[in-house]
Chains A and B, each alone.
Chain A
Amino acid sequence: MPSFETIIGLEVHAQLQTKSKMFCGCSTRFGSAPNTQVCPVCLGLPGALPVVNVKAVEAAVKMGLATGCTVARRSVFARKNYFYPDCPKNYQISQYEHPLCSNGFLHVEGGEKRIGITRVHLEEDAGKLIHLEGDDHSYADMNRVGVPLIEIVSEPDIRSPRQAASYMQKLRTIVRYLEICDGNMEEGSLRCDVNVSLRKKGSDKFGTKTEVKNLNSFKAVEQALEFEIERQARLLGEGRKIQQDTLLWDSVKGESQIMRSKEEAHDYRYFPEPDLLVLDIPESLIQRVDTEIPELPDAKLDRFVSDLGLPKYDAEVLTSSREIAGYFEATAKELGDAKAVSNWVMGEVLRELKDKKIDISQFKILPRQLAALIAEVQSGGINMPTAKDVFRDMAGTGNEAKDIIEKKGLKQISDEGALDAVVVSVLDNYPQEVAKYLAGKDKLLKFLVGQVMKETRGKAHPQKATDLLKEALEKRRGS
Protein backbone atom coordinates (compact mmCIF):
# COMPACT_ATOMS: atom_id res chain seq x y z
CA MET A 1 0.00 0.00 0.00
CA PRO A 2 1.42 3.44 -0.85
CA SER A 3 2.05 5.64 2.15
CA PHE A 4 -0.22 8.61 2.59
CA GLU A 5 0.02 11.94 4.27
CA THR A 6 -2.97 12.95 6.38
CA ILE A 7 -4.41 16.44 6.04
CA ILE A 8 -6.76 17.56 8.80
CA GLY A 9 -8.62 20.80 9.45
CA LEU A 10 -10.93 21.51 12.37
CA GLU A 11 -14.04 23.62 12.76
CA VAL A 12 -14.64 24.28 16.41
CA HIS A 13 -17.74 25.90 17.86
CA ALA A 14 -17.46 27.52 21.26
CA GLN A 15 -20.51 28.76 23.14
CA LEU A 16 -19.81 32.19 24.57
CA GLN A 17 -20.48 32.80 28.25
CA THR A 18 -22.89 35.68 27.95
CA LYS A 19 -25.96 36.22 30.10
CA SER A 20 -28.23 36.92 27.13
CA LYS A 21 -28.43 35.58 23.58
CA MET A 22 -26.58 36.81 20.50
CA PHE A 23 -29.41 38.88 19.01
CA CYS A 24 -32.06 39.08 21.77
CA GLY A 25 -32.38 39.45 25.53
CA CYS A 26 -33.36 35.85 26.30
CA SER A 27 -31.36 34.13 29.01
CA THR A 28 -28.66 31.64 27.97
CA ARG A 29 -28.88 29.59 31.18
CA PHE A 30 -28.18 25.89 30.59
CA GLY A 31 -30.60 23.24 31.82
CA SER A 32 -33.79 25.30 32.17
CA ALA A 33 -37.21 23.81 31.40
CA PRO A 34 -37.72 23.53 27.61
CA ASN A 35 -38.89 26.58 25.68
CA THR A 36 -38.79 28.94 28.67
CA GLN A 37 -36.00 31.16 27.29
CA VAL A 38 -37.49 32.23 23.98
CA CYS A 39 -38.89 35.40 22.43
CA PRO A 40 -40.11 36.70 19.06
CA VAL A 41 -36.52 37.30 17.86
CA CYS A 42 -35.07 33.84 18.49
CA LEU A 43 -38.31 32.12 17.48
CA GLY A 44 -38.23 34.00 14.19
CA LEU A 45 -41.68 35.55 14.56
CA PRO A 46 -42.60 38.03 11.82
CA GLY A 47 -41.44 41.60 12.39
CA ALA A 48 -38.89 40.81 15.09
CA LEU A 49 -35.42 42.26 14.53
CA PRO A 50 -32.03 41.13 15.86
CA VAL A 51 -29.77 43.43 17.91
CA VAL A 52 -26.13 42.42 18.45
CA ASN A 53 -24.91 41.60 21.98
CA VAL A 54 -21.78 43.68 22.71
CA LYS A 55 -20.42 41.07 25.13
CA ALA A 56 -20.39 38.42 22.38
CA VAL A 57 -18.53 40.78 20.06
CA GLU A 58 -15.96 41.47 22.78
CA ALA A 59 -15.51 37.75 23.43
CA ALA A 60 -14.89 37.04 19.75
CA VAL A 61 -12.42 39.93 19.52
CA LYS A 62 -10.67 38.58 22.63
CA MET A 63 -10.29 35.15 21.03
CA GLY A 64 -9.03 36.76 17.85
CA LEU A 65 -6.39 38.80 19.67
CA ALA A 66 -5.34 35.83 21.82
CA THR A 67 -4.70 33.73 18.71
CA GLY A 68 -2.84 36.36 16.73
CA CYS A 69 -5.70 37.12 14.36
CA THR A 70 -6.30 40.35 12.53
CA VAL A 71 -9.51 41.88 13.87
CA ALA A 72 -11.56 43.40 11.07
CA ARG A 73 -12.69 46.92 11.88
CA ARG A 74 -15.69 46.22 9.67
CA SER A 75 -17.30 42.79 9.33
CA VAL A 76 -20.62 41.61 7.94
CA PHE A 77 -23.29 39.23 9.20
CA ALA A 78 -24.67 36.76 6.68
CA ARG A 79 -27.68 34.50 6.38
CA LYS A 80 -27.05 30.79 6.11
CA ASN A 81 -30.24 29.23 4.84
CA TYR A 82 -31.40 25.74 5.76
CA PHE A 83 -34.59 24.01 6.74
CA TYR A 84 -34.46 21.96 9.88
CA PRO A 85 -36.73 21.89 12.94
CA ASP A 86 -33.92 23.09 15.25
CA CYS A 87 -33.87 26.42 13.42
CA PRO A 88 -37.14 28.37 13.66
CA LYS A 89 -36.09 31.24 11.36
CA ASN A 90 -35.03 28.78 8.63
CA TYR A 91 -31.70 30.55 8.56
CA GLN A 92 -28.81 31.01 10.93
CA ILE A 93 -27.19 34.40 11.27
CA SER A 94 -23.49 33.85 10.78
CA GLN A 95 -20.58 35.58 9.07
CA TYR A 96 -19.34 34.50 5.68
CA GLU A 97 -17.32 36.67 3.32
CA HIS A 98 -16.22 39.19 5.93
CA PRO A 99 -15.53 37.49 9.27
CA LEU A 100 -14.64 39.38 12.43
CA CYS A 101 -11.19 37.79 12.88
CA SER A 102 -8.82 36.09 10.46
CA ASN A 103 -5.25 34.85 9.92
CA GLY A 104 -4.27 33.69 13.38
CA PHE A 105 -2.40 30.71 14.76
CA LEU A 106 -1.59 28.72 17.85
CA HIS A 107 1.12 26.32 18.91
CA VAL A 108 0.89 22.72 20.09
CA GLU A 109 3.40 19.98 20.96
CA GLY A 110 5.42 22.17 23.28
CA GLY A 111 5.68 25.00 20.78
CA GLU A 112 7.03 22.73 18.03
CA LYS A 113 3.95 22.74 15.81
CA ARG A 114 2.21 25.86 14.54
CA ILE A 115 -1.38 25.52 13.39
CA GLY A 116 -2.91 28.34 11.40
CA ILE A 117 -6.34 29.71 12.23
CA THR A 118 -8.18 30.77 9.10
CA ARG A 119 -10.91 32.69 10.86
CA VAL A 120 -12.91 33.27 14.01
CA HIS A 121 -16.42 34.45 13.34
CA LEU A 122 -19.62 35.10 15.26
CA GLU A 123 -22.83 33.17 14.82
CA GLU A 124 -25.83 31.85 16.72
CA ASP A 125 -26.55 28.36 18.00
CA ALA A 126 -29.48 26.18 16.91
CA GLY A 127 -32.08 24.51 19.12
CA LYS A 128 -31.99 21.04 20.60
CA LEU A 129 -33.92 18.13 19.15
CA ILE A 130 -34.88 15.09 21.16
CA HIS A 131 -35.58 11.80 19.45
CA LEU A 132 -37.20 9.00 21.42
CA GLU A 133 -36.90 5.37 20.48
CA GLY A 134 -40.14 4.08 18.97
CA ASP A 135 -41.71 7.54 18.73
CA ASP A 136 -42.55 8.86 15.28
CA HIS A 137 -42.04 12.47 16.37
CA SER A 138 -39.08 14.60 17.39
CA TYR A 139 -39.26 17.20 20.13
CA ALA A 140 -37.78 20.69 19.82
CA ASP A 141 -36.46 22.83 22.67
CA MET A 142 -35.61 26.33 21.45
CA ASN A 143 -33.81 27.59 24.58
CA ARG A 144 -30.44 27.21 22.85
CA VAL A 145 -31.55 28.96 19.66
CA GLY A 146 -29.62 32.19 19.37
CA VAL A 147 -27.01 31.47 22.05
CA PRO A 148 -23.82 33.18 20.82
CA LEU A 149 -21.09 31.03 19.29
CA ILE A 150 -17.72 31.62 17.80
CA GLU A 151 -16.64 29.30 15.05
CA ILE A 152 -12.89 28.79 14.91
CA VAL A 153 -11.72 27.39 11.60
CA SER A 154 -8.20 26.00 11.36
CA GLU A 155 -5.98 25.82 8.31
CA PRO A 156 -5.45 22.28 6.96
CA ASP A 157 -2.18 22.22 8.94
CA ILE A 158 -2.91 19.25 11.18
CA ARG A 159 -1.18 15.99 10.26
CA SER A 160 -2.35 13.39 12.79
CA PRO A 161 -5.29 12.52 15.04
CA ARG A 162 -3.07 13.14 18.07
CA GLN A 163 -2.23 16.62 16.80
CA ALA A 164 -5.92 17.32 16.20
CA ALA A 165 -6.71 16.42 19.81
CA SER A 166 -3.83 18.60 21.05
CA TYR A 167 -5.08 21.53 18.98
CA MET A 168 -8.57 21.07 20.40
CA GLN A 169 -7.16 20.88 23.93
CA LYS A 170 -5.18 24.05 23.36
CA LEU A 171 -8.26 25.88 22.11
CA ARG A 172 -10.16 24.74 25.18
CA THR A 173 -7.38 25.96 27.45
CA ILE A 174 -7.33 29.35 25.73
CA VAL A 175 -11.10 29.95 25.80
CA ARG A 176 -11.07 29.02 29.48
CA TYR A 177 -8.14 31.35 30.23
CA LEU A 178 -10.04 34.11 28.45
CA GLU A 179 -13.22 33.21 30.37
CA ILE A 180 -15.29 33.42 27.22
CA CYS A 181 -16.46 29.76 27.15
CA ASP A 182 -16.66 27.15 29.91
CA GLY A 183 -15.20 24.51 27.57
CA ASN A 184 -17.67 21.87 28.76
CA MET A 185 -17.67 19.35 25.92
CA GLU A 186 -20.24 17.04 27.54
CA GLU A 187 -22.81 19.82 27.69
CA GLY A 188 -21.86 20.85 24.17
CA SER A 189 -20.31 24.24 25.03
CA LEU A 190 -17.36 23.22 22.87
CA ARG A 191 -17.98 21.13 19.77
CA CYS A 192 -15.89 20.03 16.87
CA ASP A 193 -16.25 18.93 13.25
CA VAL A 194 -13.21 17.61 11.40
CA ASN A 195 -12.26 17.65 7.73
CA VAL A 196 -9.84 14.97 6.63
CA SER A 197 -8.22 13.86 3.40
CA LEU A 198 -5.24 11.77 2.37
CA ARG A 199 -2.67 12.36 -0.32
CA LYS A 200 0.32 10.42 -1.56
CA LYS A 201 3.47 11.35 0.30
CA GLY A 202 5.32 14.07 -1.57
CA SER A 203 2.24 15.30 -3.42
CA ASP A 204 1.29 18.93 -2.98
CA LYS A 205 -2.30 18.53 -4.15
CA PHE A 206 -5.07 17.89 -1.63
CA GLY A 207 -7.15 14.73 -1.97
CA THR A 208 -10.93 14.63 -1.69
CA LYS A 209 -11.95 15.35 1.89
CA THR A 210 -14.73 14.08 4.07
CA GLU A 211 -16.25 15.79 7.06
CA VAL A 212 -16.97 14.04 10.35
CA LYS A 213 -19.46 15.69 12.68
CA ASN A 214 -20.59 15.33 16.25
CA LEU A 215 -17.31 14.98 18.13
CA ASN A 216 -17.88 15.88 21.74
CA SER A 217 -14.67 14.76 23.44
CA PHE A 218 -10.94 14.79 22.74
CA LYS A 219 -11.08 11.01 22.57
CA ALA A 220 -13.87 11.16 19.98
CA VAL A 221 -11.80 13.56 17.85
CA GLU A 222 -8.87 11.18 17.90
CA GLN A 223 -10.84 7.97 17.40
CA ALA A 224 -13.08 9.33 14.65
CA LEU A 225 -10.03 10.58 12.75
CA GLU A 226 -8.21 7.26 13.12
CA PHE A 227 -11.30 5.46 11.87
CA GLU A 228 -11.74 7.79 8.90
CA ILE A 229 -8.05 7.75 7.92
CA GLU A 230 -8.08 3.97 7.91
CA ARG A 231 -11.27 3.90 5.83
CA GLN A 232 -9.88 6.34 3.26
CA ALA A 233 -6.52 4.56 3.10
CA ARG A 234 -8.29 1.26 2.46
CA LEU A 235 -10.39 2.72 -0.37
CA LEU A 236 -7.42 4.47 -1.97
CA GLY A 237 -5.34 1.34 -1.56
CA GLU A 238 -7.97 -0.56 -3.54
CA GLY A 239 -7.71 2.07 -6.24
CA ARG A 240 -11.12 3.51 -5.43
CA LYS A 241 -12.14 7.15 -5.16
CA ILE A 242 -13.13 9.01 -2.00
CA GLN A 243 -16.61 10.54 -2.10
CA GLN A 244 -17.03 13.99 -0.63
CA ASP A 245 -19.35 12.84 2.13
CA THR A 246 -20.44 14.12 5.50
CA LEU A 247 -20.20 11.48 8.18
CA LEU A 248 -21.58 11.22 11.66
CA TRP A 249 -19.44 9.75 14.43
CA ASP A 250 -21.05 7.23 16.78
CA SER A 251 -18.87 7.15 19.89
CA VAL A 252 -20.71 4.14 21.32
CA LYS A 253 -20.16 1.94 18.27
CA GLY A 254 -16.76 3.53 17.57
CA GLU A 255 -17.54 4.07 13.90
CA SER A 256 -18.84 6.74 11.57
CA GLN A 257 -21.70 6.52 9.15
CA ILE A 258 -22.46 8.53 6.06
CA MET A 259 -24.95 11.24 6.89
CA ARG A 260 -25.19 12.85 3.48
CA SER A 261 -23.40 12.61 0.18
CA LYS A 262 -22.16 15.43 -2.03
CA GLU A 263 -25.36 15.36 -4.08
CA GLU A 264 -27.36 15.94 -0.93
CA ALA A 265 -24.90 18.58 0.32
CA HIS A 266 -26.55 21.68 1.64
CA ASP A 267 -26.82 24.70 -0.57
CA TYR A 268 -26.83 27.39 2.10
CA ARG A 269 -27.31 30.34 -0.26
CA TYR A 270 -25.42 32.77 1.97
CA PHE A 271 -26.23 36.42 1.54
CA PRO A 272 -25.61 39.54 3.64
CA GLU A 273 -28.06 39.67 6.55
CA PRO A 274 -30.55 42.39 5.61
CA ASP A 275 -31.74 42.85 9.20
CA LEU A 276 -28.32 43.97 10.43
CA LEU A 277 -25.98 46.71 9.35
CA VAL A 278 -22.24 46.18 9.10
CA LEU A 279 -20.46 45.51 12.36
CA ASP A 280 -18.03 48.33 13.03
CA ILE A 281 -15.43 47.70 15.72
CA PRO A 282 -14.00 50.90 17.18
CA GLU A 283 -10.27 50.91 17.89
CA SER A 284 -11.13 51.73 21.52
CA LEU A 285 -13.01 48.42 21.89
CA ILE A 286 -10.04 46.45 20.55
CA GLN A 287 -7.68 48.26 22.90
CA ARG A 288 -9.91 47.72 25.92
CA VAL A 289 -10.38 44.03 25.18
CA ASP A 290 -6.63 43.68 24.69
CA THR A 291 -5.99 44.91 28.24
CA GLU A 292 -8.44 42.29 29.56
CA ILE A 293 -6.47 39.37 28.14
CA PRO A 294 -4.65 37.57 30.96
CA GLU A 295 -1.24 35.95 30.70
CA LEU A 296 -1.88 33.12 28.23
CA PRO A 297 -0.81 29.48 28.73
CA ASP A 298 2.27 29.65 26.47
CA ALA A 299 3.65 32.75 28.20
CA LYS A 300 2.89 31.30 31.62
CA LEU A 301 4.61 28.04 30.69
CA ASP A 302 7.74 29.90 29.57
CA ARG A 303 7.77 31.88 32.80
CA PHE A 304 7.32 28.77 34.98
CA VAL A 305 10.30 27.22 33.22
CA SER A 306 12.62 30.22 33.11
CA ASP A 307 11.70 32.05 36.35
CA LEU A 308 10.68 29.18 38.61
CA GLY A 309 13.00 26.56 37.14
CA LEU A 310 10.26 23.97 36.60
CA PRO A 311 10.76 21.14 34.11
CA LYS A 312 8.82 21.79 30.89
CA TYR A 313 6.56 18.81 31.57
CA ASP A 314 5.51 20.19 34.96
CA ALA A 315 4.90 23.63 33.50
CA GLU A 316 2.76 22.13 30.76
CA VAL A 317 0.55 20.18 33.17
CA LEU A 318 0.18 23.10 35.57
CA THR A 319 -0.64 25.72 32.92
CA SER A 320 -3.28 23.60 31.20
CA SER A 321 -5.74 25.25 33.57
CA ARG A 322 -5.55 28.87 34.63
CA GLU A 323 -7.00 28.03 38.05
CA ILE A 324 -4.52 25.21 38.73
CA ALA A 325 -1.67 27.44 37.58
CA GLY A 326 -2.88 30.16 39.94
CA TYR A 327 -3.14 27.71 42.84
CA PHE A 328 0.34 26.38 42.16
CA GLU A 329 1.83 29.82 41.91
CA ALA A 330 0.26 31.04 45.14
CA THR A 331 1.54 27.94 46.97
CA ALA A 332 5.01 28.21 45.46
CA LYS A 333 5.18 31.84 46.53
CA GLU A 334 4.36 30.86 50.13
CA LEU A 335 6.87 28.02 50.27
CA GLY A 336 9.63 29.35 48.03
CA ASP A 337 10.32 25.88 46.54
CA ALA A 338 8.51 25.64 43.22
CA LYS A 339 9.51 22.08 42.34
CA ALA A 340 8.34 20.67 45.69
CA VAL A 341 4.98 22.40 45.24
CA SER A 342 4.75 21.24 41.63
CA ASN A 343 5.18 17.61 42.76
CA TRP A 344 2.40 17.96 45.30
CA VAL A 345 0.01 19.79 42.98
CA MET A 346 0.56 17.44 40.03
CA GLY A 347 0.34 14.40 42.30
CA GLU A 348 -1.87 14.66 45.36
CA VAL A 349 -3.88 17.76 44.50
CA LEU A 350 -4.86 16.76 40.95
CA ARG A 351 -5.63 13.21 42.12
CA GLU A 352 -7.86 14.55 44.89
CA LEU A 353 -9.73 16.81 42.44
CA LYS A 354 -10.21 13.91 40.06
CA ASP A 355 -11.31 11.45 42.75
CA LYS A 356 -13.82 13.85 44.24
CA LYS A 357 -14.83 15.23 40.82
CA ILE A 358 -14.44 18.80 42.05
CA ASP A 359 -12.57 21.80 40.70
CA ILE A 360 -9.91 23.75 42.50
CA SER A 361 -12.36 26.43 43.69
CA GLN A 362 -14.11 23.75 45.78
CA PHE A 363 -10.84 22.34 47.11
CA LYS A 364 -10.55 22.80 50.87
CA ILE A 365 -6.78 23.16 51.24
CA LEU A 366 -5.72 26.75 50.66
CA PRO A 367 -2.33 27.50 49.04
CA ARG A 368 -1.02 28.79 52.39
CA GLN A 369 -2.11 25.56 54.10
CA LEU A 370 -0.53 23.30 51.49
CA ALA A 371 2.70 25.28 51.74
CA ALA A 372 2.66 24.78 55.53
CA LEU A 373 2.18 21.01 55.08
CA ILE A 374 5.10 20.75 52.65
CA ALA A 375 7.19 22.83 55.05
CA GLU A 376 6.46 20.25 57.80
CA VAL A 377 7.93 17.54 55.58
CA GLN A 378 10.93 19.61 54.60
CA SER A 379 11.78 20.47 58.19
CA GLY A 380 11.57 16.79 59.15
CA GLY A 381 8.47 17.31 61.29
CA ILE A 382 6.63 14.48 59.53
CA ASN A 383 7.63 11.91 56.96
CA MET A 384 6.17 11.62 53.47
CA PRO A 385 3.66 8.78 54.06
CA THR A 386 2.33 10.62 57.12
CA ALA A 387 2.17 13.85 55.11
CA LYS A 388 -0.07 12.15 52.56
CA ASP A 389 -2.42 11.02 55.35
CA VAL A 390 -2.44 14.54 56.77
CA PHE A 391 -3.16 15.85 53.27
CA ARG A 392 -6.24 13.65 52.94
CA ASP A 393 -7.43 14.79 56.35
CA MET A 394 -6.93 18.43 55.35
CA ALA A 395 -8.75 17.91 52.05
CA GLY A 396 -11.74 16.56 53.98
CA THR A 397 -11.79 18.97 56.90
CA GLY A 398 -9.91 22.06 55.78
CA ASN A 399 -7.95 21.96 59.06
CA GLU A 400 -4.35 23.14 59.43
CA ALA A 401 -1.58 20.55 59.03
CA LYS A 402 -0.02 21.60 62.34
CA ASP A 403 -3.26 20.97 64.26
CA ILE A 404 -3.82 17.56 62.67
CA ILE A 405 -0.24 16.47 63.38
CA GLU A 406 -0.54 17.57 66.99
CA LYS A 407 -4.00 16.16 67.60
CA LYS A 408 -3.20 12.77 66.08
CA GLY A 409 0.34 12.65 67.49
CA LEU A 410 1.91 12.18 64.09
CA LYS A 411 5.17 13.96 64.70
CA GLN A 412 8.04 12.09 63.13
CA ILE A 413 10.35 10.21 65.50
CA SER A 414 13.87 11.24 64.61
CA ASP A 415 15.26 10.88 68.09
CA GLU A 416 17.85 8.12 67.87
CA GLY A 417 17.37 6.91 71.42
CA ALA A 418 13.64 6.42 70.92
CA LEU A 419 14.13 4.76 67.53
CA ASP A 420 16.92 2.54 68.83
CA ALA A 421 14.61 1.02 71.42
CA VAL A 422 12.08 0.16 68.68
CA VAL A 423 14.82 -1.28 66.46
CA VAL A 424 16.05 -3.56 69.23
CA SER A 425 12.57 -4.83 70.01
CA VAL A 426 11.86 -5.51 66.31
CA LEU A 427 15.08 -7.50 65.93
CA ASP A 428 14.23 -9.46 69.07
CA ASN A 429 10.74 -10.21 67.78
CA TYR A 430 11.89 -11.50 64.37
CA PRO A 431 14.91 -13.72 65.02
CA GLN A 432 14.29 -15.88 61.91
CA GLU A 433 14.16 -12.88 59.56
CA VAL A 434 17.29 -11.49 61.21
CA ALA A 435 19.07 -14.77 60.67
CA LYS A 436 18.05 -14.91 57.01
CA TYR A 437 19.18 -11.33 56.49
CA LEU A 438 22.53 -12.09 58.00
CA ALA A 439 22.75 -15.13 55.73
CA GLY A 440 22.52 -12.84 52.72
CA LYS A 441 18.82 -12.19 52.10
CA ASP A 442 19.21 -8.38 51.83
CA LYS A 443 15.61 -7.92 50.83
CA LEU A 444 14.49 -8.65 54.37
CA LEU A 445 15.79 -5.24 55.42
CA LYS A 446 12.69 -3.73 53.83
CA PHE A 447 10.51 -6.04 55.90
CA LEU A 448 12.28 -5.01 59.10
CA VAL A 449 11.99 -1.30 58.23
CA GLY A 450 8.30 -1.95 57.69
CA GLN A 451 8.05 -3.43 61.17
CA VAL A 452 9.71 -0.38 62.68
CA MET A 453 7.23 1.86 60.81
CA LYS A 454 4.39 -0.29 62.07
CA GLU A 455 5.61 -0.14 65.66
CA THR A 456 5.82 3.64 65.47
CA ARG A 457 2.50 3.90 63.61
CA GLY A 458 4.30 5.27 60.58
CA LYS A 459 6.03 8.06 62.43
CA ALA A 460 9.64 6.88 62.30
CA HIS A 461 12.04 8.89 60.17
CA PRO A 462 12.45 6.30 57.37
CA GLN A 463 16.12 6.99 56.59
CA LYS A 464 17.15 7.10 60.23
CA ALA A 465 15.23 3.92 60.97
CA THR A 466 16.96 2.18 58.08
CA ASP A 467 20.40 3.37 59.15
CA LEU A 468 19.84 2.30 62.74
CA LEU A 469 18.56 -1.11 61.65
CA LYS A 470 21.57 -1.75 59.45
CA GLU A 471 23.87 -0.72 62.23
CA ALA A 472 22.15 -2.98 64.78
CA LEU A 473 22.11 -5.91 62.33
CA GLU A 474 25.82 -5.57 61.67
CA LYS A 475 26.44 -5.68 65.40
CA ARG A 476 24.52 -8.96 65.61
CA ARG A 477 26.55 -10.38 62.75
CA GLY A 478 29.62 -10.13 64.92
CA SER A 479 28.12 -11.72 68.05
Chain B
Amino acid sequence: MKIDARTITHLEKLARIELTAQERERLSEQLDRIVGYVEQLQEVDTTDVSPTSAVTHQAHTQLRADEPRKGLERDAILSQAPDAKDGYFRVPKVIER
Protein backbone atom coordinates (compact mmCIF):
# COMPACT_ATOMS: atom_id res chain seq x y z
CA MET B 1 0.00 0.00 0.00
CA LYS B 2 1.30 3.41 -0.98
CA ILE B 3 0.72 6.33 1.37
CA ASP B 4 -0.26 8.94 -1.17
CA ALA B 5 -1.26 12.58 -0.80
CA ARG B 6 -4.94 11.66 -0.49
CA THR B 7 -4.31 9.28 2.40
CA ILE B 8 -2.27 11.93 4.19
CA THR B 9 -5.08 14.47 3.80
CA HIS B 10 -7.57 11.93 5.14
CA LEU B 11 -5.34 11.23 8.15
CA GLU B 12 -4.98 14.95 8.79
CA LYS B 13 -8.73 15.27 8.86
CA LEU B 14 -9.13 12.30 11.21
CA ALA B 15 -6.44 13.57 13.57
CA ARG B 16 -7.77 17.14 13.38
CA ILE B 17 -4.36 18.54 12.49
CA GLU B 18 -3.07 20.64 9.63
CA LEU B 19 0.27 19.89 8.02
CA THR B 20 2.57 21.96 5.86
CA ALA B 21 3.53 20.74 2.40
CA GLN B 22 6.98 19.71 3.66
CA GLU B 23 5.49 17.82 6.60
CA ARG B 24 3.15 16.00 4.25
CA GLU B 25 6.02 14.86 2.11
CA ARG B 26 8.16 13.79 5.07
CA LEU B 27 5.28 11.94 6.78
CA SER B 28 4.24 10.25 3.61
CA GLU B 29 7.75 8.78 3.25
CA GLN B 30 7.90 7.74 6.90
CA LEU B 31 4.45 6.20 6.95
CA ASP B 32 5.26 4.40 3.74
CA ARG B 33 8.21 2.72 5.42
CA ILE B 34 6.11 1.78 8.48
CA VAL B 35 3.33 0.31 6.40
CA GLY B 36 5.94 -1.45 4.30
CA TYR B 37 7.32 -3.08 7.44
CA VAL B 38 3.86 -4.26 8.48
CA GLU B 39 3.30 -5.64 4.99
CA GLN B 40 6.51 -7.56 5.38
CA LEU B 41 5.19 -9.02 8.65
CA GLN B 42 2.02 -10.11 6.88
CA GLU B 43 4.10 -12.50 4.81
CA VAL B 44 4.52 -14.71 7.90
CA ASP B 45 2.29 -17.77 7.77
CA THR B 46 -0.18 -17.41 10.69
CA THR B 47 -2.63 -20.12 9.70
CA ASP B 48 -2.31 -21.94 13.03
CA VAL B 49 -1.90 -18.85 15.23
CA SER B 50 -4.94 -17.43 17.00
CA PRO B 51 -5.31 -13.63 16.93
CA THR B 52 -3.95 -11.64 19.84
CA SER B 53 -5.86 -8.67 21.21
CA ALA B 54 -3.60 -8.01 24.18
CA VAL B 55 0.08 -8.67 24.75
CA THR B 56 -0.54 -10.53 27.97
CA HIS B 57 -2.93 -12.96 26.41
CA GLN B 58 -3.03 -15.37 29.32
CA ALA B 59 -4.20 -12.74 31.79
CA HIS B 60 -7.76 -11.40 31.87
CA THR B 61 -9.22 -8.17 33.09
CA GLN B 62 -10.00 -7.69 36.75
CA LEU B 63 -13.52 -6.70 37.76
CA ARG B 64 -14.40 -3.99 40.24
CA ALA B 65 -17.27 -3.96 42.76
CA ASP B 66 -20.03 -1.46 41.94
CA GLU B 67 -19.23 1.04 44.69
CA PRO B 68 -19.40 4.79 44.03
CA ARG B 69 -16.44 6.86 45.07
CA LYS B 70 -15.97 10.57 45.28
CA GLY B 71 -14.33 12.04 42.22
CA LEU B 72 -12.60 15.36 41.69
CA GLU B 73 -13.74 18.78 42.88
CA ARG B 74 -15.46 20.66 40.11
CA ASP B 75 -13.61 23.94 40.62
CA ALA B 76 -10.28 22.13 40.50
CA ILE B 77 -11.15 20.49 37.18
CA LEU B 78 -12.66 23.49 35.50
CA SER B 79 -9.66 25.63 36.53
CA GLN B 80 -7.57 23.39 34.25
CA ALA B 81 -9.94 23.69 31.28
CA PRO B 82 -9.28 26.21 28.50
CA ASP B 83 -12.73 27.67 29.06
CA ALA B 84 -15.54 27.15 31.54
CA LYS B 85 -18.73 28.84 32.67
CA ASP B 86 -21.41 28.17 35.30
CA GLY B 87 -20.00 24.76 36.15
CA TYR B 88 -19.77 23.64 32.52
CA PHE B 89 -16.84 23.17 30.16
CA ARG B 90 -17.33 25.80 27.48
CA VAL B 91 -16.44 24.82 23.92
CA PRO B 92 -16.86 26.37 20.47
CA LYS B 93 -20.41 25.83 19.25
CA VAL B 94 -21.03 22.36 17.86
CA ILE B 95 -24.27 21.34 16.22
CA GLU B 96 -23.83 17.78 15.01
CA ARG B 97 -25.73 14.92 16.76
Chain A residues proximal to chain B, CB less than 8 Å: 18-20, 24-28, 33-40, 42-43, 51-57, 74, 76-77, 81, 83-86, 98, 129-131, 135-142, 213-214, 248, 259-260, 267, 269, 272, 274, 276-280
The complex places the Cα of A57 from the Cα of B62 at a distance, in Å, of: 12
* Contact assessment for A38 and B91 in the assembled complex, using a CB-CB cutoff below 8 Å: no
Are B62 and A52 closer than 8 Å at their CB atoms? Answer: yes
B6 close to A (CB within 8 Å): no
In chain B, residues 34-63, which have Cβ atoms closer than 8 Å to a Cβ of chain A? 53-54, 56-57, 59-63
Interfacial chain B residues near A267, Cβ < 8 Å: 10, 14
Please determine whether B92 and A137 come into contact, CB atoms closer than 8 angstroms: yes
Taking a contact as CB atoms under 8 Å apart, the answer to whether B53 and A142 are in contact is no
B88 touches A39 (CB 8 A): no
Query: Which of A28, A137, A213 gathers most chain B CB within 10 Å?
Result: A137
Q: Which of B61, B89, B91 contacts A277 (CB 8 A)?
A: B61
Contact with A along B20-37 (1 / 0, CB 8 A): 000000000000000000
Size of the B side of the interface (Cβ < 8 Å), in residues, is: 37
In the complex the two chains form, is B64's CB within 8 Å of A52's CB? yes
19 more CB-based (< 8 A) A-B contacts, given A33-B87, A55-B66: A20-B69, A24-B69, A24-B71, A26-B68, A27-B71, A51-B62, A51-B63, A52-B61, A54-B63, A76-B53, A85-B94, A131-B95, A137-B91, A138-B90, A141-B89, A214-B97, A248-B97, A274-B54, A277-B59
Given contacts A26-B69, A52-B63, contact A272 B54 (CB under 8 A): yes
Does B1 reach chain A (CB closer than 8 Å)?
no
Provide the residues of chain B in CB contact with A37, threshold 8 Å. Answer: 71
Q: Is the CB of B66 within 8 A of A34?
A: no
A326 to B87, CA, bound (A): 43
| A54-B65 in contact (CB<8A) | yes
Judge whether A19 and B61 touch: CB under 8 Å.
no
- Residues of A within 8 Å of B72, CB to CB, are 38-40, 43
Cα A81 to Cα B14 in complex, Å, equals: 9
